[in-house]
């Protein structure tokens, strides 16, 4: 396990985004907006239960049954934890690997 440090030299343990519980996610997009690393992607759930790309600004809400956030590129995550701070549903799981 690599050892990370803050700018001030204190130990830092990244909290990487591991998963999002789609049964709890309300697709509000808050996590997406605070993430600078293109880790997540907002999807719309169709009547056929398929996930298709959705508009994070909400202009296509009526096209879907609901929206959910998915982990699109986990490898981009730097473990800053910002997404967890803004999630109102506590549906994200973070960890070291």
Q: Give the interface with ligand SF4 as residue ranges (CB under 6 A).
A: 17, 20, 25-31, 34-35, 37, 39-40, 69, 77-83, 86-89, 91-92
Pick the closer one to ligand SF4 by CB: 5 or 68: 68
Q: How far is the CB of 3 from ligand SF4 (least distance, A)?
A: 19
> What DSSP letter does each residue of 2-38 carry, written as one string?
--EE-TTS-EE---EEEEE-TTT-----HHHHH-SS-
Q: Cβ 21 to ligand SF4, closest distance in Å?
A: 8
Q: How near is the Cβ of 15 to ligand SF4 at its closest, in Å?
A: 6
Per DSSP, the three-state class of 1 is coil
Token pair belonging to 16: 């990487």
Number of H-type helices and E-type strands within the chain: 2, 7
Closest to ligand SF4 by CB, 31 or 44: 31
């Amino acid at each position: 396990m690599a050892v990370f440090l803050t700018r001030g030299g204190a130990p830092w343990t990244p909290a990487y985004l591991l998963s999002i519980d789609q049964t709890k996610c309300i697709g509000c997009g808050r996590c997406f907006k605070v993430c600078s690393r293109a880790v997540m992607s907002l999807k719309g759930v169709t009547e056929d239960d398929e996930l298709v790309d959705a508009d994070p600004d909400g202009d296509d809400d009526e096209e879907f049954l609901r929206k959910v956030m998915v982990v699109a590129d986990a490898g981009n995550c730097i473990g800053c934890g910002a997404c967890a701070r803004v999630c109102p549903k506590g549906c994200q799981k973070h960890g070291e690997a």
